[in-house]
Structure 1
Amino acid sequence: MTSAADKATYAEGETFTITVTVKNKSSVDAKRVHYTGGDSEGVADVVYGELRTGFDLAAGATKTVELTGKTDHAAWRYGRGFVAFQLAADNGEANDADNITSVRLLVPGAFNDLSGYVFEGKSSGAEWTPQTPGVPGFKVVATSTDGETKYAEATTDDKGLFRLSHLPAGDVLLTFTGPAGWKILTSDSSAGNHTTAQVSADDSDEPRVFVPAKKVTESSPSASPSASPSPSVSSSAGPGLPATGDNSADPGLPVTGADTMLLVGAAAVAVAVGVGLVLVARRRRVRLQV
């Protein structure tokens, strides 16, 4: 199943259309292919049409159907909404992991600040408290998730606090550059000095990103060179939508606050597309690609 929205971006309250293409790749006709459940966020008045009532699909055949809905205020607050769903057929069973699709709907327009702390920690799992020493002098740059558009930059103060102003709602990429002798820590060595964070147009002014950093002992000129571990970052982002996919399907909104820690990996926007639906008939195998 492949699914695609009719526009790249939407305004709050705007109608969207998602085109869904379903293909039966088996030699057995599929009986009443239909919507069996799903999830959504930031949308309203979703109409599944034929996906709700169901349709037969001959062996090897392909069918295109549509669903419609409207974006709502939550999509504007978080910069995006999503629709995720799964299909099944009356004459077979499907692997739940292979019959789900999700579409992300971008709704730009909201802005807010984002703040956090870079603090001293011995591991990527270190937790920040108000008594934890901060690390001053870290440069923090916020960009789009592809790194191509720069939004803002800041430097941590004596308490390790930074604040980035007027960021667009949605996912942003944060890049940390520390003073000499310091590196940031994450559980994912491939993440380097990056992490993603969610910006939302809420009323909270509390810091939502918490990044542990460690002092690195510099080798003396006579010491034998050795490979150093890749720097890493952990953060606790503010509220956000699941990804669609991402959605994943995009999950519910994360809880924010000073005591919240969220380990994250490399920056990327996870958009799930192109998943398969496998249906097993009573006597013969029905295989749908949706």
Structure 2
Amino acid sequence: MRKLAAAALMGVLVAVLPATAALAADPKPDIAVTSAADKANYAEGETFTITVTVKNKSSVDAKRVHYTGGDSEGVDGVAYGELSTGFDLAAGATKTVQITGKTNNLAWQSGYGFVAFSLAADNGEANDADNITSVRLLVAGAFDDLGGYVFQGESYGAEWTPQTPGVPGVKVVATSADGKTKHAEAITDAKGLFRFAHLPAGDVLLTFTAPAGWKILAGENGEDDHTLAQVRADDSDEPSIYVPAKKVAVSSPSASPSAPSGSPSASAPSVSPSASASSSAGPGLPVTGDNTMLFVGAAAVALAVGTVLVLVARRRRVRLQA
């Protein structure tokens, strides 16, 4: 029986090992893609060209590389060219192709349009992390208002309602998304409302500076003092940004440290108003940081008294001798 079991095991190994070796010897293509637009800014209705660079990082040829879908907004008539029909790409080879289209009014209203898609090969894909690409097409020219509320809340997930108390006195600064260009600044009113007029369409960065006793709870985890917002050129003037802030303890200013022993502030005696000399009494001794002048004055008085006593004693001696 043992011999039969061993023989059966060997048979299984003989059947499985070739299949495993075949799988190990059959790697998949690894398609990496990057893309770039031909201009930094476009006008509404302008034609754009996107250059797509495709590289096969694998050691095997990629069969019929093609785009497998994606998303777009603010663009019309996107033509994928060779990415629609597909092409073979040898191991380690790189190929550039182009796609075209036109921006539309939605891109003008939003400040940008975009095209995003992914690529694949008929014989598989080894890494799905780098076969996706996206290009943003900036369309300048539109402006609109932007407003929101800074309201009282205990966490970043707090929800605003018309009855929620606002936080007044919060400074809000609107800049470009990268923070390099300042557009405007505003201060929240008694209801926590702030408004900006005539901001450029597109992404803006809002940075909040709360008055003492308040902490801004912006960002995904409520740990930031800023948030991204989008300006769209439409007919809506309703506030669209809602940022909670919670009350925090206000640290009192620390008492000034006591002066070390021997310093002028520690040794200088305080002078009460009653101790000051009147103007009719003549000039008094100056107040200094030690008692030197006081000692000098006392010595002068003692010397004068001693001199008087000596003179009196001599006069009495003269009278006695006479």
- Report TM bin, short chain: 0.7 to 0.9
CA contact (8 A) 1:142 1:172 kept: yes
CA contact (8 A) 1:40 1:83 kept: yes
- SS of equivalent residue, structure 1 residue 124: coil
Residue aligning to 2:39? 7
- CA deviation string 1:154-189 (max 9, x = no partner): 111111111011101110000111112111113556
Question: Shift of the alpha carbon at 1:47?
Answer: 0.5
Residue aligning to 1:154? 186
Question: Shift of the alpha carbon at 1:18?
Answer: 0.4
CA contact (8 A) 2:219 2:226 kept: no
Query: Within 5 A, what are the aligned runs for 1:176-187?
Result: 176-186=208-218
Residue aligning to 1:243? none
- CA deviation string 1:182-240 (max 9, x = no partner): 111135568531111110001111110011111111234579xxxxxxxxxxxxxxxxx
Residue aligning to 2:146? 114
CA contact (8 A) 1:82 1:102 kept: yes
Q: Which whole-Å CA distance do the structure 2 matches of 1:69 and 1:26 have between them?
A: 31
| 5+ residue gaps, structure 2 | 1-32, 256-322
Question: Shift of the alpha carbon at 1:95?
Answer: 4.5
Q: Which whole-Å CA distance do the structure 2 matches of 1:177 and 1:221 have between them?
A: 20
- CA deviation string 1:40-80 (max 9, x = no partner): 00000111000001111111111110000000111001001
Q: Which whole-Å CA distance do the structure 1 matches of 2:139 and 2:204 have between them?
A: 15
Q: Which whole-Å CA distance do the structure 2 matches of 1:124 and 1:203 have between them?
A: 29
1:87 aligns to 2:119 (yes or no): yes
Question: Shift of the alpha carbon at 1:38?
Answer: 1.0
Residue aligning to 1:32? 64
Alpha carbons of 1:14 and 1:196: their partners in 2 closer, same or farther (altered >3 Å)? same
Instruction: State the number of aligned residues.
Output: 223
Q: Which amino acid aligns with 1:119?
A: F
Greater strand proportion = 1
Q: Which whole-Å CA distance do the structure 1 matches of 2:167 and 2:185 have between them?
A: 16
CA contact (8 A) 2:217 2:246 kept: yes
What is the TM-score of this pair, normalised by structure 2?
0.66
Alpha carbons of 1:60 and 1:96: their partners in 2 closer, same or farther (altered >3 Å)? closer
RMSD: 1.7
Alpha carbons of 1:187 and 1:78: their partners in 2 closer, same or farther (altered >3 Å)? closer
CA contact (8 A) 1:41 1:75 kept: yes
Determine what percentage of the aligned residue pairs are the same residue: 80
CA contact (8 A) 2:218 2:227 kept: no
What is the TM-score of this pair, normalised by structure 1?
0.73
1:218 aligns to 2:250 (yes or no): yes
Structure possessing the higher relative contact order (Cα contacts under 8 Å, 6 or more residues apart): 1
Question: Shift of the alpha carbon at 1:89?
Answer: 1.1
Q: Which amino acid aligns with 2:205?
A: L
Residue aligning to 2:104? 72
| 5+ residue gaps, structure 1 | 224-290
Residue aligning to 2:288? none
- SS of equivalent residue, structure 1 residue 98: coil
Q: Which whole-Å CA distance do the structure 2 matches of 1:94 and 1:133 have between them?
A: 54
Question: Shift of the alpha carbon at 1:98?
Answer: 3.5
Residue aligning to 1:281? none
